[in-house]
A and B are shown apart, each in its own frame.
Chain A
């Protein structure tokens, strides 16, 4: 079974803090993704990575950065947290088949509140 884990289920931070959200997958997947989920807006892609040290912007990268130093770990960084970044953050990974679209498997999510 694919397992994607996220470092925290719930997190409360203050405005201006630097926040790290960690995601780890144990299936040797090539691709990893960070989404945020907001009521009425669905899931929106923040960043994704298709290889170690590679990253690409998704639809809403502003205010975020990512790091992928090892294949199994993909970190989302909020450089200076703001209240409008209060959201549910979901990490996903996929095998990375060439010229195809493989299934993305999701972690349990981190509900971040920025006060």
Chain B
């Protein structure tokens, strides 16, 4: 069965600090997809990144970067020089290739990040 663990329930940092959000997953498939979503206080989940299991290159998008390591089944998310607007709950999610019908996302329980001024 698929499983996603975000061990950090809450993290609090001061603005301009770097912060890493951990995500560890379990799957028996060799082909799968990993996602990160951001949920600000307004409630809407905002898509950040989608990565398939064959692409282990790290990705950088502005202040955001992702480190995918199949050897440790981890897909960690780093925010560099954090800002107050980064305060949100961040979810990691996993999906395997669907055998029939639609894909199914399994979410971690989320990490609440608070960035203090």
Tell me the A residues contacting B by CB distance below 8 Å: 9, 30-31, 33, 40-43, 45, 48-50, 54, 56, 58, 88, 90, 92, 94, 96, 99-109, 111
Contacts and interface: CB of A to CB of B under 8 A. Distances in A.
Given A42-B107, A43-B107, A99 B43 contact: no
Contacts, number: 66
Nearest to A30: B102
Contacts of A99: 97-98
Interface of B: 32-33, 35, 37, 42-47, 50, 91, 95-98, 101-105, 107-110
Given A42-B91, A101-B95, A103-B35, A90 B45 contact: yes
Contacts of A92: 45
A49 B108 CA distance: 22
B43 A101 contact: no
Given A90-B45, A108-B43, A50 B109 contact: no
A2 to B, nearest CB: 9
A30 to B, nearest CB: 8
Contacts of B104: 45, 48, 58
Contacts of A101: 32-33, 50, 95-98, 103, 105
A26 to B, nearest CB: 15
A33 B50 CA distance: 18
Indicate the member of A33, A100, A107 with the most B CB atoms within 10 Å: A100
A25 to B, nearest CB: 14
Contacts of A88: 43
Nearest to B110: A42
A11 to B, nearest CB: 13
A79 B112 CA distance: 33
A30 B95 CA distance: 17
